[in-house]
Structure 1
Amino acid sequence: MNITSTYEKYADRNPLRPALVTAKETLSYKEWNNLIQKTAGWFQNYSKKPLKVAFLLQNSLEFLQIFTGASRAGWTAIPLDPRSSPMELEERLSLSSPHVLLTSASLSRKLSFTKKFALVEDWKIEVEKTLPSPVLSVDPLSPFYMGFTSGSTGKPKAFLRSQKSWVKSFDCNKTDFHMHSEECVLVPGPLVHSLFLYGAISTLFLGGTVHLLERFSPSAVLSLLKSKNITTVYSVPTMIEALLSKGEKVNSSFKMLSSGAKWEPSTRQKALALFPFMKHYEFYGASELSFVSVLNNENRNHASSVGTPCQHVSVKIVGDKGEILPPREIGTVYVKSELRFLGYLKGDGIDSPNEWMTVDDMGYLDEQGFLYIIGRKHNMILYGGLNIFPEEIEEILKKHENVQEAAVIGVTDAYWGQKPLAFIVGNASKRELSSFVRKHLSSYKVPRLWRFVKELPYTSSGKIARQALKNHLETEEIQ
């Protein structure tokens, strides 16, 4: 089980089929397979023992070349985010301890704190001189990919994925997303975000063509949808909103795969008006869990859910005493899956989870097995002994015609413990919004504090950056 094990087959069967298309170049499967064999050869020449390679690169052929070549050689690939500060990069490198560090000349200034890196421009010349290497026999449970996620403290945690977990995930593309080997897949977002990296790697494993953007551009996405035979687009909600803001109609047929947050009903209506032949797949998951569930256009009666469990995934809802809860009772969402991560890096070892694991999302299952997510446990606001989930209030606020964006966090209060504070992008008044929320939710869930801002901070995966909002309160007066 290696994420590159099918490349030779495609190179033999259909050598001229495009594997990877960028604005600068197109590589056929024959060229791609040869390049990855040489890249794996370079890693094996560096060390017969599997090591770790970190790389700081923008979206590029070289990014995917390093990731897949390292995998083929049995190494662990560690993508670093170009948007990170030097301090954040130093923190992640200290945590992951790579043996090789690669970057581009344009990004090398971000690594000014160390001289232990090589420029990818020079590295490519070395690879070109290397003899190709066949696929090695690699332990399917050994780590091949290290990513980073932040805990409640904001400090990075390194998670590890195995070859087997990703190869098993590729089954979801076929079974849950109805994809095939002739797909032309547009990857418009940053490859350092695992959703877009997975989109590219799974497409290459299945024999499709990857169209890769150097950076997200709504105009570029719309242009490709109109001019190329794009069959699938990976996205997050913020990207979809940017596409819709252009107001351009696209009459081609394609699948839109999105994660990160639920689509609002108004967003769905706009999307279907501008993209009448689009089929939307909305999936729920996490860095640690991979895919958990998927919802598509055909399940309109369950639009507020996150769908049913994906291939190789089981879900249960657990109460405070560890009991399995019946349908429609809210509890902690637990997942058992062949797709999940190996665990978190802990010293020189791996802190592995139990068979059933949770990322502390709260929700319930209905009688038909559809999963509903209410909110995340660590986001929960404890107001006078009552539990409030910010996501529930945000969903209501965003339904108001004069609210573009909304986010709710808890702030410390000497009497109540915590009080809900709402950040609003829009033109509505505090009184108007308080009345609106009270019509839909219990009175104790109405935000007691309000802050009107020009924009909200989001993570790279399109989720509200709640820690950034809490930091914002330290420098701005609450209204």
Structure 2
Amino acid sequence: MSDLFRWSPDTALCLGAQPVSAGDASPQARALCSLRDAIRAEGEILCGPEGISLLPQGTPGFLRLRSAGTTGQPKTIRRSHRSWIASFEVNRRTLSLTPADRTAVMGDLAHSLALYGAVEAAHIGADLHQLAGLRPRSQAQVLSECTVTVLYATPTHLLHLAATGAALPAVRHILCGGGRMPAGLRAAVARMAPNAVLREFYGAAETSFIAWGDGTGPEGTVGRAYPGVEIEIRGEGEIWVRSPYLAEGYVEGDSAETRREGGFVTVGEMGQMDAGGFLTIAGRRNRMVTIAGQNVFPEDIEALLLGEPDVTACAVVPRPDALRGATLVAVVDGMPDPLREARLLALCRTSVGPLAAPRRIVTIADFPQTVSGKPDLRAIAALLEAP
């Protein structure tokens, strides 16, 4: 196995359906060309919201992923090319990926999910289509016209795409990560792409793949351990993993939730694993809220609300409460609608109980998101605190 990413000469770079030209100065085109040039130069690569570049004094065979962060200070994670190449080979074998495939990524390359899909495509020699910045109907048109076969997307991307009513028979693999899949999404994707296998996967920038599944496991699970991954549930339910795909650590910033011990690492995610090896994710320990003595994971409520057809972005955040210690507020996208907000509150109270349910629903037309498409929790909290 190689220690360096390769950029296959067979890989065609496309923005949407159009090949990237040398004179294209758009941010997406610059990012694609910068990634290609950095890989070909074989130096240490820095990828983040500011763009993609080579580190002048870097070490070949390493990659730095800089995150803007959703709740804390920016962090930069360093990993070896080899740690990703190992999973490229697993995916090549398991999914039968070949240079004849056409891969599409729906997010900005500053997001590790889109970056991973792009580098994997170039490494195996598949054509690459960047769909970030296009409206869902335009994305669906590109996927159809270009007969894309492999798609990397978040649940939010798939929600928007499925809502277009598109038919995508050429797609054969969809890899969905970056958030919990809401109820009904798998069925909607099956109608849209009837020949595709939708694999939900769970992981983090620090760990890469941890678990994946094709929906055949028990309801609510994310699948079994990804090939080569060992999973242990320790203490009160903390998920620890050991694998060849782990990052080396942080070179900027830090996280108190990320800890290493005996070759295993945790990022502070809580969950459980059944006797069949199927993993269920509860949520991040640092997002867990205690309300009147009951532990509540906002991620459960977010997934519930995202299962509603008129909710495509959602964040559940805590607010201080003198009586209960904390209460929750659900922030959703769209225009204010008292009837909709009352319906969503009633759904939460019925599904998770009146204690854990949000006290109110707040609607924001311009929903704050990070470059990775996740809710910007810091910006949302600031909006709630504004007079």
Common topology (TM > 0.5): yes
SS at match of 1:154: coil
Letter in 2 for 1:457: P
CA–CA distance in structure 2, aligned partners of residues 161 and 464 of structure 1: 25
Shift of 1:292: 0.9
SS at match of 1:69: helix
CA–CA distance in structure 2, aligned partners of residues 62 and 398 of structure 1: 35
- Asked if the contact 2:159/2:312 (under 8 Å) is kept, the reply is no
Shift of 1:220: 4.0
Larger radius of gyration: 1
**Given the alignment of the two structures, is residue 454 of structure 1 paired with residue 370 of structure 2, yes or no?**
no
**Number of the residue aligned with 2:350:** 439
**Which deviates more, 207-216 or 196-205?**
207-216
Give the alignment partner of residue 68 of structure 1, picking from 39, 60, 63.
Answer: 39
Give the alignment partner of residue 28 of structure 2, picking from 58, 82, 97.
Answer: 58
Shift of 1:340: 1.1
**Number of the residue aligned with 1:174:** 92
**Number of the residue aligned with 2:75:** 157
**Number of the residue aligned with 2:105:** 187
- Asked if the contact 1:315/1:333 (under 8 Å) is kept, the reply is yes
Shift of 1:439: 2.5
- Asked if the contact 1:343/1:353 (under 8 Å) is kept, the reply is no
Give the alignment partner of residue 222 of structure 2, picking from 306, 316, 320.
Answer: 306
CA–CA distance in structure 1, aligned partners of residues 71 and 310 of structure 2: 33
Letter in 2 for 1:80: G
SS at match of 2:373: coil
Letter in 1 for 2:187: Q
Let me know the Cα RMSD of the aligned residues: 3.3
SS at match of 1:211: strand
CA–CA distance in structure 2, aligned partners of residues 284 and 373 of structure 1: 9
CA–CA distance in structure 2, aligned partners of residues 396 and 212 of structure 1: 30
CA–CA distance in structure 1, aligned partners of residues 20 and 313 of structure 2: 39
Give the alignment partner of residue 47 of structure 2, picking from 62, 71, 79.
Answer: 79
Q: Kindly tell me: are residues 399 and 162 of structure 1, through their superposed partners in 2, closer, same or farther at Cα, counting changes over 3 Å?
A: closer
**Number of the residue aligned with 1:340:** 246
Q: Kindly tell me: are residues 188 and 397 of structure 1, through their superposed partners in 2, closer, same or farther at Cα, counting changes over 3 Å?
A: closer
Higher relative contact order structure (alpha carbons within 8 Å, sequence separation ≥ 6): 2
SS at match of 1:294: strand
Q: Kindly tell me: are residues 431 and 287 of structure 1, through their superposed partners in 2, closer, same or farther at Cα, counting changes over 3 Å?
A: same
**Given the alignment of the two structures, is residue 265 of structure 1 paired with residue 183 of structure 2, yes or no?**
yes
- Asked if the contact 2:160/2:312 (under 8 Å) is kept, the reply is no
SS at match of 2:327: strand
**Which deviates more, 281-290 or 388-397?**
388-397
CA–CA distance in structure 1, aligned partners of residues 191 and 306 of structure 2: 20
Q: Kindly tell me: are residues 82 and 242 of structure 1, through their superposed partners in 2, closer, same or farther at Cα, counting changes over 3 Å?
A: farther
Shift of 1:98: 4.8
SS at match of 1:394: helix
Gaps of 5+ in 1: 12-16, 28-55, 84-92, 101-137, 321-330
**Given the alignment of the two structures, is residue 357 of structure 1 paired with residue 328 of structure 2, yes or no?**
no
CA–CA distance in structure 1, aligned partners of residues 315 and 132 of structure 2: 30
CA–CA distance in structure 2, aligned partners of residues 59 and 213 of structure 1: 11
Cα distance per residue 1:207-256 (max 9 Å; x no partner) = 32223457444344323332334211111222222322322323334211
Q: Kindly tell me: are residues 249 and 470 of structure 1, through their superposed partners in 2, closer, same or farther at Cα, counting changes over 3 Å?
A: same
Query: For residues 212-227 of structure 1, what are the structure 2 equivalents within 5 Å?
Result: 212-213=130-131, 215-227=133-145
**Number of the residue aligned with 1:471:** 382
- Asked if the contact 2:106/2:114 (under 8 Å) is kept, the reply is yes
Letter in 2 for 1:376: R
SS at match of 2:265: coil
**Number of the residue aligned with 2:204:** 286
Q: So what's the TM-score if we normalise by structure 2?
A: 0.84
Shift of 1:438: 3.0
CA–CA distance in structure 2, aligned partners of residues 152 and 26 of structure 1: 34
CA–CA distance in structure 2, aligned partners of residues 195 and 224 of structure 1: 20
Q: So what's the TM-score if we normalise by structure 1?
A: 0.69
Shift of 1:316: 1.1
- Asked if the contact 2:105/2:132 (under 8 Å) is kept, the reply is no
SS at match of 1:467: helix
- Asked if the contact 1:254/1:279 (under 8 Å) is kept, the reply is yes
How many residue pairs align between the two structures?
372
CA–CA distance in structure 2, aligned partners of residues 422 and 287 of structure 1: 26
**Number of the residue aligned with 2:153:** 235
Letter in 1 for 2:302: E
CA–CA distance in structure 1, aligned partners of residues 305 and 278 of structure 2: 24
**Number of the residue aligned with 1:2:** 3
**Number of the residue aligned with 1:373:** 281
Q: Kindly tell me: are residues 431 and 26 of structure 1, through their superposed partners in 2, closer, same or farther at Cα, counting changes over 3 Å?
A: closer
- Asked if the contact 2:260/2:266 (under 8 Å) is kept, the reply is no
Q: Kindly tell me: are residues 153 and 271 of structure 1, through their superposed partners in 2, closer, same or farther at Cα, counting changes over 3 Å?
A: closer
Q: Kindly tell me: are residues 226 and 421 of structure 1, through their superposed partners in 2, closer, same or farther at Cα, counting changes over 3 Å?
A: closer
SS at match of 2:28: coil
CA–CA distance in structure 2, aligned partners of residues 69 and 352 of structure 1: 34
SS at match of 2:3: coil
Letter in 2 for 1:76: E
**Which deviates more, 255-264 or 359-368?**
255-264
Shift of 1:187: 2.8
Gaps of 5+ in 2: none
**Which deviates more, 365-374 or 231-240?**
231-240
Shift of 1:294: 1.1
Shift of 1:285: 0.9
Letter in 2 for 1:248: A
Shift of 1:343: 0.4
